[in-house]
Amino acid sequence: MVQTFTFSSFASSFKKARGANAMGEKTTKLIRIDLNQFKLHLYLKPEVELTLHFDTPSRRFYLSVIALVVHEMKKRGSITSIPLRKHIDVLALLNQTIGAAAGSSQKEHLLPRVYRKWKDALPDLENAPLFKVVGRKKRYDDLMDKVYKFSEGEKDNWANLFEYKGSHEQVRLRFSIDRLNASLEDVIFIYKGSPELENENGWEVFIANLKENLEDKSIPERVFPEIKEPESAPLQERGWLRLMPSRWQWTALCALIGIAGGAAALVVWKDKVFAPQVEVVSVEKMAFPLPDKPSIAVLPFRNISADPKQSYFSDGLTEEIIAGLTKFPSLFVVAHNSAYTYKGKNVKVQTVSEELGVRYVLEGSVRKVENRVRITVQLTDVIRGYLLWAESYDRQLKDIFSIQDEITIKILTALQVQLMAVDESRLLEKRTDNLAAYLKLLEGIGYTYEFSIDASLKCFEEARTLDPQFAEAYAREALAHLYNFLYGPSSNRWLSLLNATETARKCADIDDKLAACNMVLGVIYLVNREFSNAISEEKRAVERWPNSAEAAAYLALALQFSGRYEEAIREIERALRLNPLKPELALTFLGITYFRMGRYEDAITACKKVVELSPRQLPALLILALAYSSVDRKDEARSTIYKIRRIRPNFSAQDFVVITRDKTDADIDSILNELLNPKSKRKK
């Protein structure tokens, strides 16, 4: 009979094993870290076991990281978080020897690399990116992905073993075997001995041997004899000796060594000449935790043209660069709303880094004179205090597209972002061949920055008139109409929704892959109570615009209308992190979500924060009034309604239907009628 592995049976096995031991019977260690063959054995019962084989140099490195964490927990006598920075020298030794310097040989890159793998790759039992599951055959599902046959419970329990605190250089790791009802006594290291024998000092012997072999400049095969190739193999085909050059290759090899030496000298010279140009910022000073991926804020480019009106061009260019970077999921990009708060301010990059919680800051200036443009940009690593690169582009205005692409590529290269095929296709996405249409688009974006919606609408309409196939102009126009629907005068709100619908559908006919178009269509589906379609469109927007705080917020709005409140809150939290200095939209949607969950006090707290930041934010005021009424704070509710009517005298119960009501919300009408018509309520 084939037995099924479950983590619940694993836990019971530990209990049984301990019971047997108490009775004086022989018991076997249940978790073995084998540093001879680089296998992790989980012995559950005599007939059931799970073995994970870390079978490449890079994978061996990560089993050794697990062993290091377990060893340090054993030293402390408790299953606790281990700060890795204190052990950076040991990690460097492991990386250089058994890890073959896979991924990076520099100490500064080790901790972020370990953090990412501990967080994402090691917990993945199904796809097993860092080990082979011995004795488990893979199958192919409908999407042709290789997956192991594990239950959801097994995968979840395995994932929960890898806990972490902090990130990157400040990471603390915990191997939570206590979740399996195991103790540190149940873990044993195997090295240089029989697997049946306990080797309590196996880790110390293992590290000592690595140091000894490194000092002796021995090849890895001396440390791990089980991976030696047959002695009978010809010299050229054995191990590292197959890399021995022939006589004619020595000349080229010496030239390469000379080049490498020159490069090393250049690096040393650069480090001495180009000392940190800005004050180094500590992660501890940041208002938010540093993301687990390269994080960047793009400050509004300064307009240094003689004409102050040209600021629309610099603002639009800034937004286009942010929007371009936002497409890449391997980056963390602060929303333009938060970055725009620094416009016109003489702010230090250290302040930006601390307030936004990012490592990199991009600054720039723009001078536009007739048909020429001069753009200067510089990218700073604020944590290290280094200017990574600076560049000036003095080109004809018609080259603006290639300049933007060059800036984006330079940023991705400097931040060492690995691009997938889909990412590269995003870099090549076509805008328009009509320069006049594109300049009108930039002008419209600049007006949007200043909340001049009517002026921006006029520009977007002109842009699509100049190029009827300019999909982005349609998408931006649809967004502007959506803003008018949500926040504009009550007299034309429904006309704005109609215009948004028409423009978004025209955009989709030209290019259905624009995230802004998906976002608008999602809200339109919400108004029509087509919640499933709304969620689908908003998910497409998030997939195509993964760093957009706006897309995350509108996905949350769609999710909460379908009763998926916890998912909605997670998206709102992500939106708040992406746009920390302009949180009004996300906080409003958080208040809506709390209100619909019946968490009225939490809704009040969220909406009060919005009103403090933006006193004329009508959706937040409406939810605040409804929440006050729901907890019988009638006076505060009526006072809030009074504020709404001062902003919009003709306010009625039909306003903001998309925000507050669906077919199950019959009670909202009665609440609003009571607040809006208190005299008629008393007459009854």
> For residue 601, what is the domain's CATH number?
1.25.40.10
For all residues of the chain together, what is the average pLDDT?
A: 77
As a whole number of angstroms, the longest Cα–Cα distance in the chain is 107
Q: Which two tokens stand for residue 618?
A: 């009508």
pLDDT at residue 611, as a whole number: 94
- Given a cut of 70, whether residue 668 has pLDDT beyond it is no
Q: Which two tokens stand for residue 617?
A: 């934010």
Q: How is the chain split among helix, strand and coil, in percent rounded to 5? A: 55, 10, 30
User: How far is the CA of 47 from the CAs of 1, 42, 43, 153, 177, in angstroms?
Assistant: 11, 12, 9, 21, 21
> ∠299-416-262 over CA atoms, to 5°?
115
- Percent of the chain at pLDDT > 90 equals 25
Q: Is residue 446 part of a domain?
A: no
- Given a cut of 50, whether residue 197 has pLDDT beyond it is no
Query: Are 299 and 212 members of one domain?
Result: no
Query: Are 204 and 304 members of one domain?
Result: no
- Given a cut of 50, whether residue 290 has pLDDT beyond it is yes
Query: Are 415 and 562 members of one domain?
Result: no
Query: Are 534 and 665 members of one domain?
Result: yes
Helix ranges restricted to H, 196-310: 202-215, 247-273
Residue 101: pLDDT band by 50, 70, 90 thresholds? low
Q: Is residue 435 part of a domain?
A: no
Nearest to 539 by CA among 570, 560, 524, 518: 518
- Given a cut of 80, whether residue 15 has pLDDT beyond it is no
pLDDT at residue 267, as a whole number: 45
Query: Are 204 and 66 members of one domain?
Result: yes
> Comparing 305 with 231, which gets the higher pLDDT?
305
Instruction: Determine how β-strand 332-333 pairs with β-strand 295-298.
Output: parallel
Least confident of 9-18, 50-59, 68-77, 112-121: 9-18
- Given a cut of 50, whether residue 505 has pLDDT beyond it is yes
Overall average pLDDT of the 110-121 stretch: 84
At which of 182, 203, 222 does a domain end?
A: 222
d(CA 610, CA 592): 12
Q: Is residue 246 part of a domain?
A: no
Question: Which of 182-191, 227-236, 334-343 shows the highest mean pLDDT?
Answer: 334-343
Nearest to 168 by CA among 354, 327, 359, 334: 359
Query: Are 494 and 372 members of one domain?
Result: no
Overall average pLDDT of the 207-235 stretch: 51
Overall average pLDDT of the 621-645 stretch: 90
> Comparing 132 with 488, which gets the higher pLDDT?
132
CB 286 within 8 A of CB 351: no
At which of 427, 457, 476 does a domain end?
A: 427
Q: Is residue 130 part of a domain?
A: yes
Supply the range of the domain harboring residue 333: 283-427
pLDDT at residue 155, as a whole number: 74
Query: Are 518 and 646 members of one domain?
Result: yes
- Given a cut of 60, whether residue 198 has pLDDT beyond it is no
Nearest to 317 by CA among 226, 388, 408: 408
Helix (H, G, I), strand (E, B) or coil at 203: helix
Q: Is residue 229 part of a domain?
A: no
Least confident of 102-106, 122-126, 561-565, 618-622: 102-106
User: How far is the CA of 431 from the CAs of 156, 360, 412, 437, 624, in angstroms?
Assistant: 43, 27, 20, 10, 42
pLDDT at residue 329, as a whole number: 87
pLDDT at residue 423, as a whole number: 52
Phi-psi region of 283 (alpha: psi -120 to 50; beta: other; left: phi over 0): alpha
Residue 240: in which H helix or E strand, if any? none
- Given a cut of 80, whether residue 553 has pLDDT beyond it is yes
Return the axis-axis angle of helices 88-96 and 107-116, rounded to nearest 10°.
Answer: 90
d(CA 61, CA 261): 28
- Percent of the chain at pLDDT > 70 equals 72
Query: Are 207 and 77 members of one domain?
Result: yes
pLDDT at residue 178, as a whole number: 82
Overall average pLDDT of the 67-73 stretch: 93
Query: Are 499 and 364 members of one domain?
Result: no
pLDDT at residue 243, as a whole number: 38
Q: What is the pLDDT of residues 300-328, one digit of tens each?
A: 999 888 787 788 888 888 988 998 888 88
Least confident of 94-108, 134-148, 180-194, 540-554: 134-148
Query: Are 513 and 658 members of one domain?
Result: yes
Q: Is residue 484 part of a domain?
A: no
Instruction: Determine how β-strand 302-303 pairs with β-strand 138-140.
Output: unpaired
Q: Is residue 25 part of a domain?
A: yes
User: How far is the CA of 589 from the CAs of 209, 413, 415, 488, in angstroms?
Assistant: 58, 36, 33, 18
Q: Could you tell me which residues come within 8 angstroms of residue 283 by beta carbon, excluding any fewer than 6 positions away?
A: 166, 168, 169, 170, 290, 383
Q: Which two tokens stand for residue 420?
A: 């997938």
- Given a cut of 60, whether residue 237 has pLDDT beyond it is no
Query: Are 512 and 660 members of one domain?
Result: yes
- Given a cut of 50, whether residue 590 has pLDDT beyond it is yes
Question: pTM score, two decimals?
Answer: 0.58
d(CA 432, CA 469): 8
DSSP 235: G
Helix ranges restricted to H, 280-434: 311-326, 336-340, 349-356, 400-414, 421-427
At which of 427, 446, 476 does a domain end?
A: 427
Q: Is residue 380 part of a domain?
A: yes
Question: Which of 51-65, 424-438, 556-570 shows the highest mean pLDDT?
Answer: 556-570
CB 637 within 8 A of CB 504: no
Query: Are 198 and 330 members of one domain?
Result: no
When divided into structural domains, the chain yields a total of: 3
pLDDT at residue 16, as a whole number: 46
Q: What is the pLDDT of residues 421-442, one digit of tens each?
A: 445 555 556 678 888 998 899 8
Least confident of 494-508, 562-576, 644-658: 644-658
- Given a cut of 80, whether residue 344 has pLDDT beyond it is yes
Q: Could you tell me which residues come within 8 angstroms of residue 210 by beta carbon, excluding any fewer than 6 positions away?
A: 93, 94, 97, 98, 223
